[in-house]
Amino acid sequence: MSIRLEEVHKAFGRKEVLRGFTIEIHEGETVSIIGGSGVGKSVALKHIVGLLRPDRGEVWVDGENVGRMPQQELYKLRRNVGYVFQFAALFDSMTIGENVGMGLRRIPEMSRASIAERVAECLRLVDLEGFEERMPAEISGGQRKRVGFARAIATEPKYLLYDEPTTGLDPVTTAVIDELIMRMRRELGVTGVVITHDMNSAFRVSDRVALLHEGRVRFQGTPTEMRAADDRIVRGFIEGRPELMGAAP
Amino acid sequence: MRASVVAPIQGLGSAVLSAVASVGTAGHLGVGALRALRKGDMWGPHILAQMARIGVHSLPIALFIATFTGIVLALQASYTFTGAIPLYFVGTLVGKTMVLELGPVLTGLALSGRVGANIAAELGTMRVTEQVDALETLAYDPIAYLVVPRVLAGAIMFPMVVLMANAVGIVAGWLTSLWLLDMSSPEFLKGLRLFFRSWDVWFSVIKSVTFGLTVTSVGCFFGLHTTGGAEGVGRSTTHSVVASSMIILVLDAFLAAVLL
Ligand SMILES: Nc1ncnc2c1ncn2[C@@H]1O[C@H](COP(=O)(O)OP(=O)(O)O)[C@@H](O)[C@H]1O
Ligand SMILES: [Mg+2]
């Protein structure tokens, strides 16, 4: 019941994004992946649900080889995985309620009434009670993100993947989302992978933090270990000092 | 020196390779769509909405084109025939040309802009905003959910739109003959019936089914393979219109050679 990426390589055309990315996330654990923008954090996350397949290397989820799995079996696996997209990725032709209910409608045992009930419950959880009939275009960016969160947790998945769940949110909403991520782990035992820019968020919500740099995990450890690390890239990232990372300004 | 020789060959080589690659991906999409036909629970609920969108909303432009085509066909036929050939052949020419060629082809070309571009833009936007990825993570097969209802609706609705366009074009030609060419209705109808075969209508239907499949599947293909944000969506839309127009014209010649 864990997630494991082994020596994953992924290139788009000539651009090598992942170059031997290896990470393991144990059951019930929440791990944050941090790194500059465009380093391939989203690409790494998409490998876990088979939205992207590795050029080389292996991706294991629940003891199954996701990288080689036939498409039809991927759909089964994905029922156990919730994915919170960076820009929410709400279906703009549907109401908020329909968006949140999308995954539930794939479950044959769920009746209309029980779907409506669960949708209301998930919206309440993200503080958007009664938003069912609104359209995605009518709500703010922060609200859209929370709807994306509600949609991902609606089917009570064992795994939750969060792609920058708090980026662009105000501090209060950020705290609300962080609290939700921690609750998912604490109360439902969800295994989580959080991609973030925000060091405070990363240290608050995760058991371990991994820094993605030049296609590989540069450093991983508990928040305490990471704060104490003397690796210059880690220091540069935590302290926001590009000169340490040897980056061109 | 050598570079100037090698570069164009390399360019041609990579163009051929990428063309082969896109035929490959298109074939993949086709096979996926056939497989996805089984998942009726996914595309079934959307087929009516797509039929309305593709069929009903396309009627105004299709009938507008057909009306003016019918008028022009009648005028040009009479201009060509006067003195040499009995004028009732105007009816023959309007009928045959509308049904065999201009009804299906002009409608097909117009709808590659109206319907194909619309599909490419819609699915392209869904792709770049990760809505297609979101569908996948919620265990919806995007081929069954997005592609199948659009392509099926195209195959069903294009023939209907084309048959209506044929009829409207012929009526426009007839009225033109009455009002502008001093022909009588019996004369026009005599010409219309003269070489009429029911096969002509079937040919029109077969053509419009293939054009409907082409326009919608090309739109889906370019839409789903969009990369690079809003600019990419614009690119997909243009490519989709150009590609489906070209395929329509080639298919048109091919079907005439094979079926007539
Ligand atoms: N489907 C794709 N096709 C081509 N290039 C891609 C694709 N997805 C991501 N990339 C590229 O991979 C790099 C890493 O992207 P991403 O994982 O989104 O970065 P981030 O770490 O900010 O999430 C970027 O340069 C991006 O342009
Ligand atoms: Mg990203």
Instruction: Summarize pLDDT for A169-219 with one digit per residue, the tens.
Output: 888 888 988 999 999 899 889 999 999 988 888 999 999 999 999 999 999
Question: Thinking of the domain A2-80+160-244, which architecture would CATH place it in?
Answer: 3-Layer(aba) Sandwich (3.40)
Tell me, in angstroms, the distance from the centre of ligand 1 to residue A37's CA: 9
Mutation site, A42, A47, A73, A83, interface B, largest B CB count within 10 A? A83
Q: What is the DSSP string of chain A?
A: --EEEEEEEEEETTEEEEEEEEEEE-TT-EEEEE--TTSSHHHHHHHHTTSS--SEEEEEETTEEGGG--HHHHHHHHTTEEEE-TT----TTS-HHHHHHTTGGG-TT--HHHHHHHHHHHHHHTT-TT-TT--GGGS-HHHHHHHHHHHHHTT--SEEEEESSSTT--HHHHHHHHHHHHHHHHHH--EEEEEES-HHHHHHH-SEEEEEETTEEEEEE-HHHHHH---HHHHHHHHT-HHHHT---
Ordered by start, the domain boundaries in chain A are 2-80+160-244, 92-156
| Cβ pair A83:B129 closer than 8 A | no
Cβ neighbours of A171 (radius 10 Å):
9
Size of interface A-B (CB pairs under 8 A): 51
Q: How far apart are CA B120 and CA B123, in angstroms?
A: 5
CA-A46 nearest atom, ligand 1: 17
CB contact set of B94 (below 8 Å; sequence gap of 6+) = B70, B73, B74, B77, B169, B170, B173, B174, B177, B192
Residues having CB within 6 Å of any atom of ligand 1:
A 12, 17, 35, 37-43; B 227
> What share of chain A in percent tops pLDDT 90?
70
- B169: pLDDT strictly greater than 60: yes
3-state secondary structure of B129: coil
- B61-105 per-position pLDDT tens digit: 999 999 999 999 999 999 988 878 888 899 999 999 999 999 999
Smallest CA-to-CA distance from A157 within A177, A184, A183 is with A184
* CA–CA gap between residue A154 and residue A133 (Å, rounded): 17
Q: How many CB atoms lie within 10 A of CB B220?
A: 27
Quote the DSSP letter at residue B181.
S
Chain B residue nearest residue A48, CA to CA: B137
> Cα(A214)–Cα(B225) distance, rounded to whole angstroms?
27
What's the pLDDT band for B9 if we cut at 50, 70, 90?
confident
- Residue B1, pLDDT score: 47
- Is the per-residue pLDDT at A149 higher than 90? yes
Say whether residue B182 is in contact with chain A using an 8 A CB cutoff: no
Q: CB–CB of B203/B259 below 8 Å?
A: yes
- What percent of chain B stands above pLDDT 90? 74
Rounded Cα distance between A113 and A122, Å, is 14
pTM of the model: 0.89
Rounded distance between C-alpha atoms, residue B249 and residue A170, angstroms: 55
Q: 3-state class of B226 per DSSP?
A: coil
Quick one: which of B170, B153, B173 has its CA closest to B217? B153
**Candidate from A75, A76, A87 with C-beta closest to B129:** A87
| Ligand sitting nearest the alpha carbon of B133 | 1
Of ligand 1's atoms, which has the minimum distance to the CA of residue A39? 21
* Proximal ligand: closest to the CA of A44: 1
Cβ-defined contact of A83 to B140 (cutoff 8 Å): no
pLDDT score of A245 more than 80: no
**Site to substitute for ligand 1 among A42, A195, A213, most atoms within 8 A of C-beta:** A42
A108 CB neighbour count, 10 Å cutoff: 6
Task: Kindly state the tokens that stand for A27.
Answer: 């059951």
Give Cα A133 distance to the centre of its chain.
27
Strand order in the sheet with A15-25: A15-25, A3-12, A56-61, A64-65
Q: Other C-beta atoms within 10 Å of A129: how many? A: 11
Distance CA B223, CA B207 (A): 24
User: Does the distance separating the beta carbons of A106 and B139 come in below 8 Å?
Assistant: yes
CA of A159 to the centre of ligand 1 (A): 23
Q: B101-141 pLDDT, tens per residue?
A: 999 999 999 999 999 999 999 999 999 999 999 999 999 99
Strand partners, A209: A32, A221
Name every chain A residue with its beta carbon within 8 A of the beta carbon of B126: 91
- Smallest CA-to-CA distance from B137 within A97, A188, A85 is with A85
φ/ψ (deg, to 5) at B244: -70, -30
